[in-house]
Amino acid sequence: MTVTPSEERLDAAREQAALWCVRLADDELTLAEQARLQAWFDADEAHRGLLDDAVTAWRAVEEQAASPGMIALRREALEDLRRAQHGRWARPGRRPALWTALAACLVVAVGGGVAWRASLPDVYRTTEGERRIVELADGSRASLDSATVLKVKYERGRRRLWLDSGRAKFSVAKDPLRPFSVAAGDKLVVATGTVFSVERLTGQMRVVLYEGHVAVLDDKTGRADAAVPVKIGGAPADRLLTPDHELVTSTKTNATVVSQLDPIRAKAWENGQLVFQDEPMDLAVERVNRYARDKLKIGDPGVAQLRISGVFTSGDTSAFVDGVTAVLPVHAVAANGVTVLKIDRGQKNSAPAGVSSTS
């Protein structure tokens, strides 16, 4: 029987769909692989349908997925994909094996929808000055601070989130069988049903506990099962983290402290306020910049070492600058949309500033 060029193209596309299925089942895609998969989708609108067909094929033989024969075929298909991505497509005569492997490839948890969609996290973000509340699929709620990026991926046995920047508060729906984990750099916060917030700042992560209990872990390998507790004095630090307390851990040295936190101060950012209590200036400026289109910049190492206490309205950068320059040995220089804070040597004093501006 003569095979037409169009049939050959369809067979090749089906084979590539099977190979992508194997890769999706093997592990999470890298950013480069995500880009290649998207390019494949863009090349022909039929490609998405072929991957959808793969889901149907898997479900038809799901009970056979863990058999040794299926596992072996899946492994062979994965090797073909790796060769293909280095410019060497699967060897002639391999298509029967690949199509059989298609039945074994989709062992990812698919709670509806198709596997390639399930492999990618949902991304929620806010811009400067914006806050938003996100209702998650399980009934949990995430309140995002300004300039925040949060990724969410729910699977059958776990709820995984990544805080790439900013701050978010989580009201977690109770589900003891599916831990709710938030990764922030190499730190991991795990809960089952509670209320807490996680904040990423330069060189540190902060966790505020409002209700319940969380575990705070070091996750330098990127594998949750290998994470170890963040410790204070040899004991897990989260034992000290009770409601209305804050845990601050360094991402550079692992130094960790837990301190009591005024409940009003803990919730101030949700009400549009910035509250600083003996805060280093570099971290205060980082927080102010979340809400500012015209950014502040520390132009002198001496400024970063100063400390400030005060209450400010989020987004009112000029009030912050006025307050800081009034009580600290600092002056401001504005140019090209950036205000640079520099030491004003020989003037004022370097005691912690006590400033209030909520007008």
Residue 196 has pLDDT above 90, yes or no: yes
Q: Does 117 map to a domain?
A: no
Residue where a domain terminates, one of 88, 112, 136: 112
280/167 same-domain check = no
Q: Does 286 map to a domain?
A: yes
The helix or strand, by DSSP H or E, that contains position 235, with its residue range, turns out to be strand 235-236
Residue where a domain terminates, one of 263, 282, 316: 263
CA–CA separation, 166 and 198 (whole Å):
9
Q: Which domain holds residue 158?
A: 122-263
Q: What percent of the chain lies above the pLDDT cut of 90? A: 44
pLDDT of residue 242: 93
Residue 318 has pLDDT above 50, yes or no: yes
pLDDT band (50, 70, 90) for residue 44: confident
155/180 same-domain check = yes
Q: Does 278 map to a domain?
A: yes
Cα-based distances in Å from 199 to 171, 180, 190, 196: 15, 16, 14, 10
CA–CA separation, 114 and 190 (whole Å):
28
Number of domains in the chain: 3
136/229 same-domain check = yes
245/314 same-domain check = no
248/130 same-domain check = yes
Report angle CA 149, 150, 154 to the nearest 5 degrees. Answer: 160
Residue where a domain terminates, one of 237, 263, 289: 263
**What's the whole-model pTM score?**
0.65
Q: What is the mean pLDDT of residues 166-179?
A: 92
Nearest residue to 245 (alpha-carbon basis) of 267, 261, 266, 269? 261
pLDDT of residue 167: 97
Q: What is the mean pLDDT of residues 124-138?
A: 94
Q: Does 293 map to a domain?
A: yes
Q: What is the pLDDT of residues 85-130, one digit of tens each?
A: 555 444 444 444 444 445 444 433 333 344 445 556 889 999 999 9
Residue 180 has pLDDT above 60, yes or no: yes
Nearest residue to 303 (alpha-carbon basis) of 340, 271, 338? 340
Which one is predicted more confidently, 104 or 139? 139
Q: What is the mean pLDDT of residues 289-315?
A: 93
Q: What is the mean pLDDT of the chain?
A: 79
Residue 345 has pLDDT above 50, yes or no: yes
pLDDT of residue 228: 85
pLDDT of residue 182: 96
CA–CA separation, 324 and 302 (whole Å):
14
138/189 same-domain check = yes
Which one is predicted more confidently, 50 or 217? 217
pLDDT of residue 75: 61
pLDDT band (50, 70, 90) for residue 30: confident
Q: What is the pLDDT of residues 238-294, one digit of tens each?
A: 889 999 999 999 988 889 999 999 888 889 999 999 999 899 999 999 999 999 988
Q: What is the mean pLDDT of residues 289-314?
A: 93
161/248 same-domain check = yes
Q: Does 189 map to a domain?
A: yes
Q: What is the mean pLDDT of residues 9-15?
A: 81
Q: What is the mean pLDDT of residues 20-44?
A: 75
Residue 164, judged by CB atoms within 10 A of its CB (0-12, 13-18, 19+), counts as middle
